[in-house]
Amino acid sequence: MLLAALLSLAPPARAAEERVVNIYNWSDYIDPKVIDAFTRETGIKVVYDTYDNNEILETKLLAGRSGYDIVVPSGPYLQRLIRAGAFLPLDKAKLKNLGNLWPEISSRLAVYDPGNTYAVDYMWGTTGIGYNVAAVRERLGANATLNSWTVVLNPASANKLKDCGIMMLDSPEDLIPSMLPVFGAKADSKRWDDLTLVTDALFKVRGSVRKFHASEYIQALANGDICVAVGYSGDVMQAKRRAEEAKNGIEIAYVVPKEGALMWFDTFAIPKDAAHPAEALAFIDYMLRPQVAAANTNFVAYASGNLAAKKFVKPEILSNPGIYPDEATMQRLSINTAWDDRTQRYVTRLWTRVRTGR
């Protein structure tokens, strides 16, 4: 009894004090309170860095010694990095909350990661069009069709919106597959002629596009600095929420174009040279708790890959088809797999032409 009492008074082991997990995630993509709660419960310190595109993440991982224990690659990049041997297989015995995942989402994710061996879904969403309702209606007309990629790909339409501002994602991996159905091609087409059709169309409206950027469109749309953003569903929803909180009178809407759009996935994976794989698994398992997954969805306005979390998600988010698409919208969503190295280089050249307008 005395020994037990003395042990209970002993300071925690030094190793326990130094437990840490180094995370590399997209910017504005987690509820900070979740990180604090994880550290309080486990004693594991979280070192948290952010990035704003998959290319940065891929470069770090392929170079080796990234210094990170958890990263959050999107589907095609996950696929390429798995092929490159960049990740550790997940020790699923350590993930007791794995059963909370959404089977349909995990099944779609398996296109990139067969057997869901290396990654679990964190968030998923779509790439579509966010817009300032009043500003766009004023310029295109009250009866204009807004749920179409032609809003931004038709030069006449784009020119009418030029003065109020168009911004687009600086991400050919998202934009090109999303827009391919406009030209009668599948979102996962690897034909160079198909890819060129999209970039040629974007080049024709380049003069009407104010900027290509990974995330600046969120605040710009919320402030009324732009009226159209081609971007991620959750980012547009964040812009909508910011505008409502600011009470600036700006109404923002989001549409998945009728021609079709891209469905994407962001995943938790552990680099093969992670220094703290046990802590990484502990963090991932914590994030798979339904209440925790819901807290993140409620904060960032992206759909969670956690089916059990749905009952804890705010009703206004769960019922929003821009975040959780209905079945009819789901049928219009496609996924894209990784380009091979040669096609990747070709797309980089095409995209440079689009971005620079030259």
Give dist(CA 32, CA 24) in Å, integer. Answer: 14
What residue ranges do the domains of the chain occupy? Answer: 17-125+264-323, 126-263+335-356
Digit-coded pLDDT (tens) for 60-106: 999 999 999 999 999 999 999 999 999 999 999 999 999 999 999 99
Query: 318 with 246: CB under 8 angstroms?
Result: no
Q: Whole-prediction pTM value?
A: 0.89
Environment class of 29 (CB within 10 Å of its CB; exposed 0-12, middle 13-18, buried 19+): middle
CA separation, residue 101 to residues 7, 12, 144, 337 (Å) = 39, 34, 40, 22
pLDDT computed for residue 180 by the predictor: 98
Q: Looking at the predicted structure, is the pLDDT value of residue 5 above 70?
A: no
Q: Taking CA 189 as the corner, what is the angle to CA 183 and CA 193, rounded to the nearest 5 degrees?
A: 60
Same fold: 17-125+264-323 with 126-263+335-356: yes
Amino acid at 321: P
Digit-coded pLDDT (tens) for 160-188: 999 999 999 999 999 999 999 999 999 99
**What is the band of 7 on the pLDDT scale with cuts at 50, 70, 90?**
very low
pLDDT computed for residue 6 by the predictor: 31
pLDDT computed for residue 18 by the predictor: 81
Q: Taking Cα atoms as reference points, which of 173, 172, 181 lies closest to residue 261?
A: 181
Mean pLDDT of the 135-157 span: 97
17-125+264-323 CATH fold:
D-Maltodextrin-Binding Protein; domain 2 (3.40.190)
pLDDT computed for residue 17 by the predictor: 57
CATH classification (class only), 126-263+335-356: alpha beta
pLDDT computed for residue 2 by the predictor: 29
Q: Looking at the predicted structure, is the pLDDT value of residue 292 above 90?
A: yes
